Amino acid sequence: MRQRRHSRQILLGTAALTISALALTGCGGSNESGGEAEQQQDAAAAFEGRGPINYVSSRDASGAAQDSIDKWNAEHPDEQVTFIELPDSADQQRQQLVQNAQIESDTFSVLNLDVVWTSEFAANRWILPLPEDALPTESMIPATVEAASYRDTLYGAPYYTDGALLYYRTDLLEAAGVDAPPANWEEMTAACDKVLALPEAADMSCYAGQFDKNEALTVNFTEAVGSAGGQVFDAEGNPTVDTPEALAGLTQLTEAFDEGLVPSDAITYLEEQGRRAFQEGELVFLRNWPFVYSSLTATDGSSDVVDKFGISAVPGIGDNPGVSTLGGRNLAVSPFTENKATALDFIKFFTSEEESKARLDKSSRAPVYPSLLEDPAVVEERPFYPTLLESLENAQPRPKVVQYGATTTAIQEEAYAALTAEKTPEQALADMQAKLEELSAE
Amino acid sequence: MSTSTPAPPRPHAPGGPLPRKRKPGTRSPGEGRMAALLLSPTLLVLALVIAYPLISALYQSLFREESGLDENGFVAEGESFVGLANYTDMFVGESGARFLNALANTTFFTITTVTLETVLGLCLALAMNRAFKGRGLLRASILIPWAIPTAVSGLLWRWIFQSDGIANHLIGSEILWTAEGFQAKAAVIIAEVWKTAPFIGLLVLAGMQVIPEEVYEAARIDGAGWWRQLGSITLPLVKPTLLVAVLFRLLDALRMFDLPFVLIGPGKQSVETLSMLAWDESNQLRYGSASAFAIILFLYVALIAIVFVKLLGADVAGTKEVRTLRKGGRTRKAKAL
Amino acid sequence: MTQIPVLTPTETPDDAPQRKLKRRGWKTYLTYVGLAAIFVYCLAPFYWMLVSSFRRTADIFENSPIPQPFSAENYIKVFDGATLFGRALVNSLIVAGITTTAALVLGIFAAYAISRLNFRFKSVILGVIIATSMFPGISVVVPLLRLFTDIGWINTYQAMIVPNLSFAIPLAVWNLTTFMKALPFDLEEAAMIDGCTKWQAFRKVLLPLAAPGVFTTAILTFIHSWNEFIIALSMINDPNLQTATVAISKFTGATEFQAPFGEQMAAGVIVTVPLVIMVLIFQRRIVEGLTSGATK
């Protein structure tokens, strides 16, 4: 009896809180609309105000970004740039950026954005369109400029870029009598057949990419579709994963799992696990980003493949050339910051060819200027840059959609279901197409 | 204690009605005022931190963001009032399946982890409550799992459960712990129980420490063995503390977020909880439905808490246990005499 | 019978267990096996953390039980100037310390009121208090960010402390109420008969008796706010005010694809070990204090 009364009182208490909450609704909630609307539109006129600004980014472990900022600060005593550090995790970075845009905080002035966030931030008016001719876009890799644009307007200044590379074991290919890296999956499979027949390669697997349910799977799926001659979205922004090309691409991946070309635990691989498997001599071929190069060449005994690997473009499927997606970062200006003129000048300075070149001393991040990727002095240090440039010139951006989060989730969900044989590739693609159509209809 | 303190009062002063012995329910206005004074800071702080977000979530959950694009490609401004549509949409179609999956996961994780934690926590407390050398060290080391920040321990377990990590290495298996499937749930449960059993253990231990030794002595004189003592003294007397500990674990487990997020990853249906779902919705800028999920989760947690209190009688406000203890004291007195 | 029956059975004179030891040797043995199992279970993952923290970045994936070669590089990196990790530890200490103190003071007040005073709606109040622990933490962030921006609390300690109180207080109130309930009224009544005021009876009789509960609540709330992350991350952007968990989240690997696992584990060790040592010291102090207080 008593028990019941107490618990009823607790229930009442909870309810009281809820009801008082309802009653007070007027003072809660959001008056979000308003500010944003006026902030927008005329781009050129928007860049006014000078003074201190904040640059918001995850830390650059190499220290190169800080060097650029220090140089700027030395030259602009009245327009100091402060580095606000964000977490290492991209999810958390985006969450912080979105939160601050939500409350229209003027703290975040210059934002360091992943290329895939461009459309979303632009469409939500969380970044400003850059004035025409603000940047020397003609001397940058076109795909990077494309990835920094939304509906043909440039919103971001390309900062650095990333493309897919195929790492392969030169020593084993040579031993197996294969003289050139494979141009497509057929050649790669054939090369593996020969290599894996070698006694020294008995326990190895042929190939790995990144297949965990993660952004990296979207990358690998998009590349497979692109390498089969397809596209995830067409030029008008309509999803096109119900095409034979997309099916060929996904089927190539699922077959690679079925046939054991890919080790079964690759379903848990992100970039690092694959890097490590290759580095320890467990893989003949690896799809990965350029960052792997410095680990593979490490001479501290951690790498088993020093001087035993080569780099080429990712393989095509059928007669199509291999296609890389594009990674990297852009800098953009928040509409809520006071000192937009300073912010614009700063991103011009920061992403200039000169600063990009200066950062190469410390940073392994690939600049967006072909002239630097081909610079003999640079290539001597990083012999894979010409291959990377080639890869980037063929690169396709990942889907350029406003609702990128939901889009990439849908892609990962269905591609993962196909790779784990939960669905047939046909079914997975049909479901993916349906989800993407629903998203683009919204 | 200093000399100004009166001699330690005997717990059972002989004879005479005690001045404060009043029937429960008799209230003096002075005590009411005093209570209001003592409670108001607490309520004020909580109102500031929780009431405002709760109100704004309730309000927000009745609206839906415009998600269409205008002809220039900008997201349409503002939001429209949709009444309870965010709530009703939760149960239908694709998102309905996802919601029910998250609800099932949340419930499953809560039941399994809290049960295991309770059993383990009790064992920990019983172990720590014994006299042996290095007990202080054991007690402090038991704290370690709880003391490691969740984000860090999530990473640690992710590392342990990698396909070629130490877990597979030790048990000689090739389980893909972080891939979709039941093993992912198991990984979360193992890590969560490891992390939070100390919470229950420590609270229960504190509860055991206030049980007077005399109660046990009396029982020993009566010839009660260890199990009898556990069943008829320890457990009944730590019950209020244990229930509070379990209640708080329930509330936390129902809102579980970081661990599956870091350990297995966002978007994995095998481990997606309601909190993760709410996070994902707000991450995709659907604040209306994110708020609706948060409110539903809040109500679900409240419901579970009420059912728990009702079924097991976490009688915090009541006086039952006090009486039990007094009875224990009286037994002791009888024996001592 | 000359002592207040305060303390644990385990704090009683040593001869009792020793007698037991002779009588039931195998049982004691079994107990120790059980204790060892618990010890291993709690510490094995931590051991792995420790081992990983002493590996070089290049060997971070190794499964050897002892780091080979042994390297302190992760610890050096953690305290590298750019991370301001030492500063972050101090901030964590400030935030968790104030949170704990405030939660205990408020919690003791509230628990005393609920357990010792007669007034209406006790259960309602308890219900409201615990209801605040039912709202998902991640949904609190954006509204609070808006609120704190409006009142100028961004980059202040109170922006972290006040939200931390929202989980610390319910635990403190509920837990301490249970403890005070469990302590007999008789003692305070007797003290008041002996001429103590209500306040003295509370301070000199009730509070010492409730010490194990207070101490445990303090540890748990301290650790809880020591580990808080998302609020501290969202409300603070000045690196001089960030807490240790936030600082850890900002560690970066050589590239964005490489998690700084070794550093994260090293930092995990650094934030955990002092906590445990602190508990060890406090534990001894408090137990001593109690024992001496009780036997006088």
Tell me, what's the ipTM?
Answer: 0.82
The pLDDT value recorded for residue A224 is 96
CB contact under 8 A, B283 and A268: no
Task: State whether the Cα torsion B22-B25-B28-B32 is positive or negative.
Answer: positive
- Pick the closest to residue A129 from A157, A107, A171 (CA basis): A157
What integer is the mean pLDDT of B203-214? 85
Q: Helix, strand or coil for residue A334? A: coil
pLDDT confidence band for C84 (50 / 70 / 90): confident
A91/B58 CB distance under 8 A: no
Using an 8 Å CB-CB cutoff, list chain A residues near B174. 264-265
Q: Which residues pair with A110 in a beta bridge?
A: A55, A333
Least confident of B116-125, B288-297, C190-199: C190-199
* Parallel, antiparallel or unpaired: strands A53-58 and A110-114: parallel
Q: Name A81's Cβ contacts closer than 8 Å, sequence gap at least 6.
A: A52, A53, A54, A55, A69, A72, A73, A110, A346
Nearest CA among A229, A205, A230, A221 for reference residue A286: A205
Is residue B8 situated within a structural domain? no
pLDDT > 80? residue A36: no
- Mean pLDDT, rounded, for C101-105: 95
Q: How far apart are CA A7 and CA A336, in angstroms?
A: 49
- Please give the pLDDT value at position C289: 53
Cβ of C249 within 8 Å of Cβ of A89? The answer is yes
For the cut 50, the answer to whether the pLDDT of residue B330 exceeds it is no
More confident residue, C23 or C133: C133
Q: What is the mean pLDDT of chain B?
A: 81
Whose tokens are 């709606």? That residue is: C121
Q: Is the peptide bond before B53 cis (omega within 30 degrees of 0)?
A: no
**Average of pLDDT values for C58-78?**
85
- How many structural domains is chain B composed of? 1
Is the CB of residue A90 less than 8 Å away from at least one CB of chain C?
Answer: yes
> Using 50, 70 and 90 to split pLDDT, how confident is the model at A22?
very low
Residue B221 sits in which domain range? Answer: 85-325
How big is the A-B interface in CB pairs under 8 Å?
122
Mean pLDDT computed over C226-245: 91
Whether A88 and C251 lie within 8 Å, measured CB to CB: yes
Same domain, A89 and A206: no
Distance of CA C147 to the CA centre of its chain: 28
- Across the interface, which of B56, B67, B313 has its CB nearest the CB of A28? B56
Residue with the bigger pLDDT between C138 and A228: it is A228
Packing angle, helices B182-209 and C211-226, rounded to 10:
150
B 173-202 near C (Cβ less than 8 A): 194, 198-199, 202
A431 has pLDDT over 50: yes
Report the alpha-carbon distance of residue B233 to residue C155 in Å, rounded: 51
On the question of pLDDT at C45 being above 80, the answer is: yes
- CA–CA separation, B173 and B157 (whole Å): 16
Determine the length of chain A.
442
- Chain B residue with the nearest C-alpha to that of C133: B251
CA nearest to C229, candidates C151, C146, C163, C155: C163
B75 compared with A17, residue with greater pLDDT: B75
Contact state of C237 with A364 under an 8 Å Cβ cutoff = no
Give the structural domain span for A316.
165-323+403-441
Q: Identify which of B51, B56, B284 has the shortest CB distance to residue A30.
A: B56
pLDDT value for A12: 52
Average pLDDT over chain C reads 82
* DSSP H stretches of helix in A51-89: 64-75
Q: Is A228 helix (H, G, I), strand (E, B) or coil?
A: coil
Q: Is B319 on the interface with A (CB under 8 A)?
A: no
Tell me what pLDDT residue B282 has. Answer: 86
Tell me how far apart the alpha carbons of residues B211 and C179 are, in angstroms, rounded to a whole number: 11
Check pLDDT > 90 for residue C178. no
* A241 in a structural domain: yes
Please say whether the beta carbons of A149 and A377 come within 8 A: no
Q: Where is pLDDT greater, at A123 or B331?
A: A123
3-state secondary structure of A401: coil
Q: Does the structure show a pLDDT above 70 at A341?
A: yes
Element (H, E) at A22: helix A2-23
CA angle A399/A148/A246 to nearest 5° reads: 20
Examine the pLDDT at C293 and tell me if it is beyond 80.
Answer: no
Percent of chain B with pLDDT over 70: 83
Cβ atoms B153, C268 nearer than 8 A: yes
Local confidence band at A45 (pLDDT 50, 70, 90 cut-offs): low
Residue C115 CA to chain centroid, in angstroms?
24
Residue C243 contacts A, CB cutoff 8 Å: no
C interface mutation test: which of A4, A18, A19, A88 has the most C CBs within 10 A? A88
Asked if residue A19 is part of any domain, the answer here is: no
Q: Across the interface, do B48 and C162 touch by the CB < 8 Å criterion?
A: yes
Predicted local distance difference test score (pLDDT) of residue B316: 55
- Tokens representing A124 are 């939500």
Chain C residue at shortest CA distance from A90: C256
Residues A245 and A334 in one domain: no
Tokens of C267: 């930092």
Whether the pLDDT of residue C7 is over 80: the answer is no
Residue that is written with structure tokens 């696992």 in the block: C261
Res A442: pLDDT:
65
Is the C-alpha dihedral spanning B150, B156, B160, B163 positive or negative? positive
Q: What would the mean pLDDT of C162-174 be, rounded to a whole number?
A: 90
Nearest to A408 by CA among B271, C184, B283, B27: B283
- The answer to whether residue B13 scores a pLDDT higher than 60 is no
More confident residue, A385 or C21: A385
The CA-based diameter of chain B, rounded to the nearest angstrom, is 92
**Which pair of tokens denotes residue A83?**
């580095």
B chain contacts of residue C122, beta-carbon cutoff 8 Å: 317
CATH number, position A332: 3.40.190.10
> Where do the structural domains in chain C lie, given as residue ranges?
9-74, 80-292
Is residue B77 a contact partner of residue A33, using CB atoms and an 8 Å limit?
yes
A222 compared with C2, residue with greater pLDDT: A222
- Taking 80 as the threshold, does the pLDDT of residue B285 lie above it? yes
Q: Is B39 part of any domain?
A: no
Alpha helices in C137-260 (DSSP H): 141-150, 158-182, 185-193, 198-201, 207-209, 211-226, 230-235, 244-249
Instruction: Indicate whether A108 belongs to any domain.
Output: yes
Record: contact B73-A122, CB cut-off 8 A: yes
| CA dist., res. A267 & res. C12, Å (int) | 57
> Is the Cβ pair B129, C9 closer than 8 Å?
yes
pLDDT at A165 over 90: yes
Average pLDDT over residues A250-258: 96
- Residue-level pLDDT at B26: 52
* Confidence grade of residue A2 (pLDDT, cut at 50, 70, 90): very low
Residues in a beta bridge with A330: A113, A158
High-pLDDT (> 90) share of chain C, %: 30
Residues B124, A353: Cα–Cα separation, whole Å:
62
Percent of chain A with pLDDT over 90: 74
Specify the pTM. 0.85
Bridge partners of A205?
A283
Q: What is the pLDDT of residue A13?
A: 52
Average pLDDT across chain A, whole number: 88
| Closest Cα in chain A, distance from residue C255 (Å) | 7
| Mean of pLDDT values over B217-241 | 87
Put simply, the answer to whether C124 touches A12 (Cβ < 8 Å) is: yes
Alpha-carbon distance of B117 to B198, in angstroms, equals 8
Contacts of A58 in chain C (CB under 8 A): 250, 252, 256
Residue A5 belongs to a domain: no
In angstroms, the CA A313 to CA C31 distance is 63
The nearest alpha carbon in chain A to B47 belongs to A17
User: SS3 of A287, please?
Assistant: strand
DSSP3 helix / strand / coil % (chain C, rounded to 5): 75, 0, 25
Strand pairing class (A157-163; A283-288): unpaired
CB A32 within 8 A of CB B287: no
Which two three-digit tokens encode residue B323? 């009486």
Range with lowest mean pLDDT among A18-27, A128-137, B215-224, B244-253:
A18-27
Q: Which whole-number Å values give the CA distances from B33 to B29, B36, C102, C111, C200, in the listed order? A: 6, 5, 22, 15, 19
In this predicted structure, the answer to whether residue A123 has a pLDDT above a threshold of 60 is yes
Assign A54 to helix, strand or coil.
strand
pLDDT category at B315 given cuts 50, 70, 90 is low
Q: What is the mean pLDDT of residues B250-261?
A: 92
- A378 vs B123: CA distance, rounded Å: 63
Burial class (CB in 10 A: 0-12, 13-18, 19+), A3: middle
The reply to whether A370 and A411 lie within a common domain is no
- The answer, yes or no, to whether residue A28 has pLDDT greater than 50, is no
Q: Which residue of A has its CA nearest to B309?
A: A7
Nearest CA-CA distance, residue C79 and chain B, Å: 17
**Token couple for B17:** 């009605």
Q: For every residue of chain B, which 3-state class applies, written as one string? A: CCCCCCCCCCCCCCCCCCCCCCCCCCCCHHHHHHHHHHHHHHHHHHHHHHHHHHHHHHHHCCEEECCCECCCCCECCCEEECCCHHHHHHHCHHHHHHHHHHHHHHHHHHHHHHHHHHHHHHHHHHHHCCCCCCHHHHHHHHHHHHHCCHHHHHHHHHHHCCCCCHHHHHHCCCCCCCCCCHHHHHHHHHHHHHHHHHHHHHHHHHHHHCCCHHHHHHHHHCCCCHHHHHHHHHHHHHHHHHHHHHHHHHHHHHCCCHHHHHHCCCCCHHHCCHHHHHHHHHHCCCHHHHHHHHHHHHHHHHHHHHHHHHHHCCCCCCCHHHHHHHHHHHHHHHHHC
Residues A218 and A296 in one domain: yes
Query: How far B44 CA sits from the closest chain C CA (Å)?
Result: 10
| Residue C169, phi-psi category: left (phi > 0), alpha (psi -120 to 50), beta (remainder) | alpha
Top pLDDT among B161 and C29 is at B161
What's the mean pLDDT in A96-120?
92
Structurally, chain A folds into a number of domains equal to 2
**Cβ atoms C216, B202 nearer than 8 A:** yes
B122 near C CB under 8 A = no
- Chain segment A173-184, per-residue pLDDT in tens: 999 999 999 999
Superfamily of domain C80-292 in CATH is MetI-like (1.10.3720.10)
Least confident residue range of A183-197, A267-281, B311-325: B311-325
Asked if B60 lies within 8 A of A30 by C-beta distance, the reply is yes
Distance between CA atoms of C117 and B28, rounded to whole angstroms? 9
Q: Pick from B316, B323, B332 the residue to mutate for testing the C interface (most C CBs within 10 Å).
A: B316
Contact C127 A105 (CB under 8 A): no
Residues A189 and A148 in one domain: no
* pLDDT(A7) > 90: no
Which pLDDT does position B325 carry in this prediction? Answer: 43
Q: Which of A87-91, A137-141, C226-230 is the most confident on average?
A: A137-141
CATH code of B211's domain = 1.10.3720.10
Residue A25 lies in a domain: no
Contact C38 B41 (CB under 8 A): no
Is the pLDDT higher at C171 or at A10?
A: C171
Least confident of B93-97, B113-117, B241-245: B93-97
Of A88, A107, A271, the CB nearest to C249: A88
Distance CA A242, CA C92 (A): 53
Q: Are residues A376 and A298 in the same domain?
A: no
Strand A205-208 versus strand A283-288 pairing type: parallel
> What one-letter code names the amino acid at B211?
I
Residue C6: what pLDDT?
Answer: 38
Interface test with C, best of B34, B40, B44, B46 (most C CBs within 10 A): B46
> Which candidate, C65, C20, C236, C282, places its Cα nearest to that of C144?
C236
Short-list A59, B126, C202, CA closest to A69: A59
Answer yes or no: is pLDDT of C170 > 50.
yes
* pLDDT more than 70, % of chain C: 87
pLDDT over 60 at A404, yes or no: yes
